[in-house]
């Protein structure tokens, strides 16, 4: 889903709000007011009028427009409606209403015939009634049709498949990942050779990543499942950059801030270049002195960033999060200095991304990587101590209970890779691609199924997850199926 953000502009309904926000506010108000007063009440008529006006405003550029709810956001004509202080409560209320009637979205156009005000009032009344029905979406669809309200339709819930129409995007995403990987690899190698290096290429590639995060977040999240056992640090740096930017986009950071966050993520472990590779790749337990050297890498990252050929302004903007990323939320981590300032927002974001990717990657000292949902479980235990609880919650909401790339054993005996994490309504029921053995040592992708599917007679779920794994345990590269 393409996501673009909007900024408030002047509009007829209120200069404070965008047309999209005005529509949401007018609709929400109408829904509430028809519950209290009868049709002829002035307040009801006025609210209905504003609602119609807001539809008219949005219909100026096109005959009809869509409003859809997906993952804690409204999208109007595929554009994300940003939360702002002035609108967040109303948006949440309307979202709650959408949940109550189990509808993904609507298509609106301006009523052409009849009394528009009356029609708007009737529509609002039907919506309120639907929320009390057993199958509200079906009932609503039927009632709207019966009432002759031809200017509004329910949208069908989205059905995604990884079809060929997404191939260009996936190819582009793979390229961008490669460029980012090469970028951090080049920077690291030049530093190791004691040469100065600029960061222009890194900024270019992170800008490309930011574009993908904004428009094709799911594709990029799929890429973050790429694990490179033999070049762990480079892949890890790119993954942390991607995960951080995705989380930043989720919470509403601006584009420029996303790029800065992405650069911080890409360079957060630059300091490992100063550590003996044998220590980094040691299979057994580290000695005290070895562990101390490892702990120095955050400070080393700062030193290396300072040596980059970049402006003071840029360096000052990217130096703090790499310093902070092992300090922990409660500052009990390392490096052990007299640092007492609370972690920056970016530091807290990168901490989460860093630990998540590390836990879900196979390492020399932990050859069996943790499954993604277990990693989240462990991180949840550290909420408030190691991680900012609010950001962790955003992160969990972003990746879902079973994040993309998780390997699930299903109750029917089949294995499946999570292709799209679950909806808010059914957090433990993602979409999975069933895996079919290729009779050699690998798997090929089978049918994609929704774990929300139920038996038509019994109503029981067709499949439920019984166990989860990191696909690397079975030599499966999740990214092969996702991107």
Partner 1 sequence: MRKNIRDDRKPALKAKEIADKLMLSLKNYELYPENHVVTQSSVNDFMDKLSDYLEVDESCVFQITKDAYIHDGKVVYRGRASEENPAYQMYRDGIERLAFHQGLTKKEFLQFLQILRHHAVTRSQKESDIVTDLWEADFTCISYQTTDVFWQDENLIDFQAVRVADPVQIRQAKGSKESPEGVSISRVAKDLDMFTLSADEISKTLQMIQEEEARNFDADIFEVLLVILKEQKKEDDFEIVLDIILESFQHTLERAEFSYIILFFDRLSELKESYVQTQSWAIPYIEDFVLTLSSNKAISSLHEAWKHVDLNDTKHLNELRTALTKFSPQAIHALCPMILQVPSLRLQNLLIEAIKDLAKKDAQPLIKLLSHPDDSVAQNVVHILGAVPGQDAIAALQHKFNTSSGRLRFEAAKSLGKIKPLLTEFFFPLVDDSQGAVREYAIKRIGQEKNLLSEEFLIDCIRSGTFKKEDHQRLLSLYKALGGCGSAEALPFLKKQTKKHSVIRRKLYAIHREGAALALGILNVIEGQTTPVS
Site string for partner 1, 300-319 (x = CB under 8 A): --xx--xx-xxxxxxxxx-x
Nearest to 270, CA basis, from 228, 312, 315: 315
- The least CB distance from residue 372 to partner 1, in Å, is 9
Task: By CB under 8 A, name the one of 25, 187, 246, 476 that touches partner 1.
Answer: 476
Q: Is 72 left (phi over 0), alpha (psi -120 to 50) or beta?
A: left
Task: By CB under 8 A, name the one of 65, 98, 181, 329 that touches partner 1.
Answer: 181
Task: By CB under 8 A, name the one of 88, 138, 281, 287 that touches partner 1.
Answer: 88
The CA distances from residue 105 to 61, 68, 72, 76, 447, in Å, are 20, 4, 13, 9, 26
# chain residues binding partner 1, by CB under 8 A:
101
Q: Identify whether the C-beta of residue 144 lies closer than 8 Å to the C-beta of residue 155.
A: no
Candidates 118-126, 141-149, 378-386, 450-458 — which segment interacts with partner 1 by CB under 8 A? 378-386
Looking at beta carbons only, is 43 or 277 nearer to partner 1?
A: 277
Looking at beta carbons only, is 23 or 469 nearer to partner 1?
A: 469
Site string for partner 1, 317-356 (x = CB under 8 A): x-xx--x-----------x-xxx-x--xxx----------
- The least CB distance from residue 442 to partner 1, in Å, is 11
Bridge partners (DSSP) of residue 449 are 432
Task: By CB under 8 A, name the one of 21, 68, 218, 373 that touches partner 1.
Answer: 373
- The least CB distance from residue 154 to partner 1, in Å, is 23
Site string for partner 1, 258-287 (x = CB under 8 A): -x----------------------------
- The least CB distance from residue 98 to partner 1, in Å, is 13
- The least CB distance from residue 28 to partner 1, in Å, is 13
Indicate whether 106 belongs to the interface with partner 1 (CB under 8 A): no
Looking at beta carbons only, is 114 or 342 nearer to partner 1?
A: 342
Site string for partner 1, 400-439 (x = CB under 8 A): -xx---------------------x--xx-----------
Which positions from 444 through 473 interact with partner 1, judged by CB under 8 A?
465, 467-469, 471-473
- The least CB distance from residue 428 to partner 1, in Å, is 5
Taking CA 179 as the corner, what is the angle to CA 177 and CA 181, rounded to the nearest 5 degrees? 70
Distance CA 223, CA 307 (A): 30
Site string for partner 1, 224-263 (x = CB under 8 A): --xxxxx----x---------------xxxxxxx-x----
Indicate whether 207 belongs to the interface with partner 1 (CB under 8 A): yes
Distance CA 278, CA 280 (A): 5
Which positions from 183 through 202 interact with partner 1, judged by CB under 8 A?
198-201
Which positions from 33 through 72 interact with partner 1, judged by CB under 8 A?
72
Distance CA 192, CA 276 (A): 11
Q: Position of tokens 């972690």?
A: 343
């Amino acid at each position: 889903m393409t996501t673009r953000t909007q900024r408030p502009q002047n509009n007829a309904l209120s200069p404070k709000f965008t047309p999209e926000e005005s529509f949401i506010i007018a609709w929400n108000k109408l829904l509430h007011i028809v519950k209290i007063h009868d049709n002829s009440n002035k307040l009801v008529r006025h609210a209905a009028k504003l609602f119609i006006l807001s539809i008219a405003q949005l219909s100026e550029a096109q005959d009809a427009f869509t409003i859809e709810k997906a993952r804690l956001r409204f999208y109007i004509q595929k554009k994300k409606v940003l939360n702002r202080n002035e609108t967040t409560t109303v948006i949440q209320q309307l979202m709650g209403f959408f949940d109550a009637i189990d509808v993904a979205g609507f298509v609106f156009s301006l009523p052409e015939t009849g009394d528009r005000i009356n029609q708007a009032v009737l529509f609002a009344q039907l919506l309120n009634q639907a929320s009390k029905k057993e199958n509200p979406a079906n009932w609503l669809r039927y009632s709207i049709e019966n009432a002759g309200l031809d200017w509004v339709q329910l949208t069908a819930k989205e059905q995604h498949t990884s079809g060929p129409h997404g191939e260009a995007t996936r190819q582009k995403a793979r390229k961008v990942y490669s460029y980012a990987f090469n970028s951090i690899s080049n920077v690291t190698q030049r530093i190791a050779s004691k040469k100065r290096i600029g960061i222009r290429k890194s900024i270019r590639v992170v800008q490309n990543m930011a574009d993908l995060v904004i428009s094709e977040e799911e594709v990029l999240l799929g890429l973050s499942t790429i694990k490179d056992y033999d070049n762990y640090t480079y892949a890890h740096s790119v993954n942390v950059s991607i995960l951080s930017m995705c989380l930043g986009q989720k919470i509403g950071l601006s584009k420029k801030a996303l790029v800065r966050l992405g650069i911080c993520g890409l360079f957060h472990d630059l300091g490992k270049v100063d550590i003996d590779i044998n220590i980094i790749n040691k299979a057994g337990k580290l000695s005290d002195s070895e562990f101390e050297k490892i702990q120095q890498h955050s400070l080393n990252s700062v030193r290396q960033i300072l040596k980059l050929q970049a402006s003071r302004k840029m360096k000052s903007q990217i130096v703090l999060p790499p310093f902070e990323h092992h300090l922990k939320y409660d500052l009990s981590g390392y490096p052990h200095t007299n640092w007492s300032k609370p972690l920056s927002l970016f530091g807290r974001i990168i901490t989460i991304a860093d630990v998540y990717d590390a836990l879900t990657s196979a390492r020399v000292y932990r050859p069996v990587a943790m499954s993604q949902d277990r990693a989240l479980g462990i991180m949840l235990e550290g909420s408030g101590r190691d991680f900012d609880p609010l950001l962790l919650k955003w992160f969990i909401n972003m990746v879902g209970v079973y994040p993309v790339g998780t390997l699930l054993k299903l109750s029917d005996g089949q294995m499946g890779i999570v292709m799209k994490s679950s909806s808010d309504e059914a957090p433990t029921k993602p979409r999975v691609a069933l895996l079919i053995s290729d009779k050699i040592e690998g798997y090929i992708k089978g049918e994609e199924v929704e774990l929300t599917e139920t038996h038509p007679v019994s109503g029981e779920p067709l499949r439920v997850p019984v166990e989860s794994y990191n696909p690397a345990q079975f030599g499966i590269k999740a990214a092969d199926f996702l991107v």
